[in-house]
């Protein structure tokens, strides 16, 4: 016991309490420190569609980018700063292009490919899979969700000759078109809107130039006073090998449905 404390006790004065330890606040997530070049996405995670991950020997996001470029299945990557998933930086390689999420822990990027085609059908050398995803998203928004399902010419332009159509299996495009025309007659007013950030794409490895695309959308259908609206999920397989994209498979599900008059 210190002499000052002993003297206080001798005079009948209470000794000062010992200071209590204070737990420090939790450390914040360290910001990503591995600088990457080009169009890398700073402070961005792309969670999901991982096919392998590993520690990196140095805090350098370009090491993760380079590994993605070297591996055929890889379409995108995420670098995680040291101190987030362990003491070492970590690289996650992905077989698709997931939705981006803001996160200071990470740097992400999208692989550069030679697979994307221009609208005229020529290969767009050096085009990134970001451009590929933009092309697929534009097709979904403008041609699939936003196209005129009462137009035989339009429907003929977006479907392949044979389509794996919902639960009907393989059917000729003519049967798909007839079904769409009947739906258009049932609901004279139709509107579909892609949910922002919901679209993801994945290559079908044994069918080069063909992609599986998933997304969510808001819908509203009306016939006079009857209105149905809600949220749906779309699943398409889109072939980009021709001069224009073609749907070879279509399916999905209704996630919510509200009916009123």
- The stretch 137-141 carries a mean pLDDT of 93
Same domain, 87 and 165: no
pTM equals: 0.59
User: In this structure, is residue 30 part of a structural domain?
Assistant: no
Q: What is the rounded distance in angstroms from the CA atom of residue 46 to the CA atom of residue 92?
A: 9
CA distance 36 to 81: 12
> Is residue 158 scored above 60 in pLDDT?
yes
The pLDDT-based confidence of 98 (bands split at 50, 70, 90) is confident
What's residue 111's pLDDT?
79
95 lies in the same domain as 162: no
List the CATH number of the domain containing 241. Answer: 3.10.450.50
154 and 221 housed in the same domain:
yes
pLDDT in tens, 30-85: 445 555 555 688 999 999 889 999 999 999 999 999 999 888 888 889 999 999 99
Note whether 177 and 156 are within 8 A (CB): yes
Q: Are residues 92 and 141 in the same domain?
A: no
Structurally, the chain folds into a number of domains equal to 2
Indicate if 143 and 103 belong to the same structural domain: no
Instruction: Give tens-digit pLDDT for 178-233.
Output: 999 999 999 999 999 999 888 888 888 788 889 999 999 999 999 999 999 999 99
For residue 56, the enclosing domain spans 41-110
Condensed to tens digits (0 to 9), the pLDDT of residues 5-34 reads: 454 445 555 444 444 444 444 444 444 555
**Pair (136, 231) in one structural domain:** yes
């Amino acid at each position: 016991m210190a002499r000052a404390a002993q003297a206080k006790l001798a005079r009948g004065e209470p000794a000062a309490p010992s200071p209590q330890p204070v737990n420090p606040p939790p450390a914040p997530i360290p910001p990503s420190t591995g600088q990457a070049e080009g169009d890398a996405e700073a402070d961005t995670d792309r969670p999901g569609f991982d096919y392998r991950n590993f520690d990196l020997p140095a805090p350098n996001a370009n090491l993760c980018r380079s590994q993605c470029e070297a591996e055929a299945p890889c379409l995108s990557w995420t670098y995680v700063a040291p101190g987030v998933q362990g003491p070492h930086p970590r690289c996650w390689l992905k077989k698709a292009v997931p939705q981006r999420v803001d996160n200071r822990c990470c740097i992400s990027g999208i692989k550069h490919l030679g697979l994307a085609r221009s609208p005229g059908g020529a290969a767009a050398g050096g085009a990134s899979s970001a451009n590929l995803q933009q092309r697929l998203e534009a097709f979904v928004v403008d041609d699939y969700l936003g196209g005129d399902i009462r137009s035989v010419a339009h429907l003929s332009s977006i479907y392949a000759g044979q389509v794996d159509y919902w639960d009907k299996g393989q059917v000729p495009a003519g049967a798909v078109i007839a079904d769409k025309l009947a739906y258009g007659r049932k609901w004279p007013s139709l509107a579909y809107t892609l949910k922002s950030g919901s679209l993801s794409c994945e290559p079908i490895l044994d069918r080069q130039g063909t992609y599986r695309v998933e997304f969510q959308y808001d819908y509203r259908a009306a016939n006079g006073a009857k209105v149905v609206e809600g949220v749906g999920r779309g699943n398409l397989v889109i072939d980009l090998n021709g001069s224009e994209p073609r749907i070879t498979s279509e399916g999905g599900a209704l996630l919510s449905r509200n009916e009123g008059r």
